[in-house]
Structures are given as C-alpha cells and as structure tokens.
Amino acid sequence: MARGQSFGLSASARLALVQRLARRREGQEAQAAADPRGFTAIQNLKDYGLLRDAADALGLESPFFRVHEGRAGARSVTGGRAVINLGSYDYLGLNGDPRLHAAAAEAMTRYGISASASRMVSGERPVHRALEQALAAHYGAEAALVLVSGHATNVTLIGHLMGPRDLILHDAAIHNSCVEGAKLSGARRVPFAHNDLAAAARELKAARRGAQRALVVIEGHYSMDGDVPDLAGFVRLAREHDAWLMVDDAHGLGVVGRTGKGVFEAAGVDPAEVDIWMGTLSKTLCACGGYVAARADLVDWLRHTLPGFVYSVGLPPPLAASAHAALGVLQAEPWRVAKLQANARLFRDLCRTRGLDTGNSAGLGIVPVMVGSSVRAGRICAAVLQRGVNVLPIAFPAVPEGAARLRCFLSAEHEEADLRAAAEALAAAAESVGPAEAGA
C-alpha cells in the first residue's frame, strides 16, 4: 500500500491488508527472479500490481472495462442487464441520432472507412476540411486542425509548441494529456490551486520573468469537478503577463453557455481573446479525435510540423462527417443544451437533498458525488450497479486519496424518472456501504 494512504481502512484493517500483500509480494518477487526478461522491474508496473492486489484482497471487483451490449446513451445494457447510464458523455443525446449515422454512412461509402495515410501525404478528404472550417467558425478562429485522438492532441500540441526555456502554468486539476504534453516540452511546469484565479496570478507573477515564453492552460468545464473557470479573468491575466492562453474545452462544447457554444459564451468573452482552443470530438460530437482552433499562421505551421498530425493517419472520414453533422445539430437545436442543463441541475439538487456531496458542480453536464476513500468509491460503484445504475469511480491516483468520487455524466436524453431513480439508488448504495471501511 502506498505510504501515507489509508484508503478509508481502519488501523487493524490496514495492518491485515499489509500483511496479506507482503505475503503475496514475496511470491511475486521469487517469480520475477526466475524470469529475468519480464517487466516487473518497472516501478509503475509494481505500483499497479500493488493496487490490483489490494483490490483483490479486499474483494473489490474492478468496475472498469465492463462490456456494454447496448448503445452508450442515457440507458445502456451491461452484463445483459438494462441500466440507467451515467457513465458516458453523450451530452446532447446524439450518439444514436439517425442524421449522424447517415452522414457517417455516406462518407464511408464515398471515401472508405480509413483515411489510409497521413493527411499530409495522401489522406486528405473533403470532409476533413469541412469539419475544420465549421470548428473554426464556431470559435471565431481563423483556422482549425483535427487529429485522431483528443489526448494525443494536447500531448503533441503542448509538447511541440513549448520548450525548455518556457513556462507552462496550469490548473492543478488539468487533464492528464496537458500534463503529459508539458512534460514532453521540457518547459518549467507550475500548477496553481484548482480554479483559483488569484493563486494563478501569484504563481505567474513569480515565475514569468525567468521564462522566454509562457502558456496558461485551463479547462472550460472541468471533467473531474464539473465547475467552470473565470474565463474573463484568465484572459486579463494572460495579457498582463504576455502569455498565451489555451483552453481545453473538451467538456464545454455543447454543455456550457446558453446555446452550448462553450465557456466563452457563458462568460461573455470574445473567443478570439483565447489564443488556442482545444477540444475533442468524442463528447458532444459523438465521434473520436481532437481539434485545435487558432490563428491561421499557427494552424498552418502545426499542419506541416506537428508530430501527432504529420506522422499519424488522418481522422477516419466517417467520423469527420458524423462530427460535422453533430456540430450542425448543436447549432440548430439549442433546446438540447437547455434540456441537458436542466437535467444536470435537477440531478445535482436531487443528490444534495439526499445528503450526497456534489462538490462545486455547476450543474451543466458533470456531477461528481464525493465519497472519500478509494475503497468506499469502489464499493458504492458495485452497490449502485446492483440497483440498476452504471456510474464509474474516480479514485487514487487519478485524484488524491480521500477525494474519490463517482463521476456522473448527464445527457439531454435522460428522463426525469431516470434521474430520480439514479439519485435514490446512489443514496441507498452509499448508505449500504456506510461512511467508512471497517475491515479488509
């Protein structure tokens, strides 16, 4: 067990667990010694094995990689059982929309399934440019570029844009992809307390003088907490210190703002005030991939030099076409955004009235239910699934131990009865598990 982490166990339970893990570890070390070509010398692999062994010793079934036999929407089927689904980010209920399916089918018939190569050499298709033009227009940007992975978009963009003499200031709750990109760049990386503009200002003032260039990175709708930043304040901060501002709006598009344009709409900020917009195609737009929207000179440079774009296959044409269609539906049917936001507020408030802690959720699309220890999160997850609700835990090391949560994604497709039933099931599951772990 990691030092300093109790995972909600009593002292006696921790001692018993440590003893059981020590016995297991002795056997594993002997096995590793007999297999010198194995990978057990990798420390992170050892750490993962320790967590896995601890879960096994505590009788915790992994909630991850469950097979879903149904469409990922407001409802799904897992293990042959119909469930209310709070584990998928189909925010506007478009994953099963026939217009998206038709767009994908038409593109597949015309261009095939795969782009078949890097777009730079032979993979360019008209649907790529159409999607990029629509995204650029949405953000009031001069140009946009789409890539095959949202995570890879942040890694390759930040890693390529910044260098060892630069500074990257980011929210402490920023997505892993941004952190990995910052590490790749070699720039000095300075986190600030989550969603704390004053803390960001102090850190940037202290660190800016010694850096050649500076990049401030925030999210438009934080995926772990469901809250939003003071975008206008961060624009002012970036301008004051001659820094670029980058907003990862992966969970903001289609969710934040009166018509779902994103955090800039909610804040009343001209999107051109943000130097780099990043987002994903896998949330509201129900496809897969990432995008960057910015000034034309930056995007043109990225198109010709960005490693994750130049040396990777182009986005599959059916996904580009369906994402483009989804963006059109978002813009034409703002009632979906209103329904999503109403559902999220209702669910958040239903949870709160049942004594559940929903943190600082703005009630827009993401409602975390804070449960404390990682062990308790796993047990509540299993208990609520038995009550017909699919929701996944976020536990250590993704969040600090003691800050584990069940992260609930809402959809415009959810019915009020589903939300009431889900809130009741969560409250009952939490009560059945109890406030703390008594034994291993």
Q: Kindly report the pTM of this predicted structure.
A: 0.90
Structure confidence at residue 421 (pLDDT): 98
Question: What's at 399, amino acid-wise?
Answer: V
Domain 98-332 in the same topology as domain 75-91+334-433: no
In the CATH scheme, what architecture does the domain 75-91+334-433 have? Alpha-Beta Complex (3.90)
* Active-site option among 6, 76, 185, 223: 223
Query: Which member of 138, 160, 251, 414 is catalytic?
Result: 251
Q: Which amino acid is at 227?
A: D
Q: Where are the strands (E) in 323-411, listed by range?
A: 366-372, 389-390, 392-394, 404-409
Rounded to an integer, what distance in angstroms lies between the CA atom of residue 16 and that of residue 18? Answer: 6
Whether a cis peptide bond, with omega within 30° of 0, leads into 368 is no
For the question of residue 304 being annotated catalytic, the response is no
In angstroms, rounded to a whole number, what is the distance separating the alpha carbons of residues 404 and 209? 37
pLDDT, residue 1, reads 43
- Quick check: is 88 catalytic? no
Instruction: Output the six-digit token pair for 16.
Output: 């018993």
CA dihedral for 214, 233, 331, 95, sign (positive or negative): positive
> Taking Cα atoms as reference points, which of 155, 164, 250 lies closest to residue 213?
164
**Selected catalytic residue, list 283, 324, 339, 414:** 283
C-alpha 411/C-alpha 75 separation (Å) is 10
Decide if 83 contacts 77 (C-beta within 8 A). Answer: yes
Closest CA to 187 of 235, 244, 134, 253: 244
CB 219 within 8 A of CB 125: no
Comparing C-alpha atoms, which of 399, 404, 407, 419 is closest to residue 367?
Answer: 407
In the chain, domain spans: 75-91+334-433, 98-332
Nearest to 19 by CA among 47, 62, 53, 44: 53
The amino acid sitting at 237 is L
Per-residue pLDDT of the chain (440 residues; tens, 9 = 90+): 444 455 555 666 665 565 566 666 666 666 666 677 777 777 777 777 767 777 777 777 888 888 889 898 999 998 889 999 999 999 999 999 999 999 999 999 999 999 999 999 988 899 999 999 999 999 999 999 999 999 999 999 999 999 999 999 999 999 999 999 999 999 999 999 999 999 999 999 999 999 999 999 999 999 999 999 999 999 999 999 999 999 999 999 999 999 999 999 999 999 999 999 999 999 999 999 999 999 999 999 999 999 999 999 999 999 999 999 999 999 999 999 999 999 999 999 999 999 999 999 999 999 999 999 989 999 999 999 999 999 999 988 888 889 999 999 999 999 999 999 999 999 999 999 988 544 43
CA-CA distance, 155 to 184, in Å (whole number)? 7
223 is catalytic: yes
Taking alpha carbons only, the member of 319, 330, 371, 399 closest to residue 147 is: 319
Q: How is residue 230 annotated by DSSP?
A: -
Identify the CATH number of the domain defined by range 98-332.
Answer: 3.40.640.10
DSSP-derived letter for residue 66 is P
Written as six digits, the tokens of 198 are 């004053």
Q: Which strands, in side-by-side order, build the sheet including 392-394?
A: 366-372, 404-409, 392-394
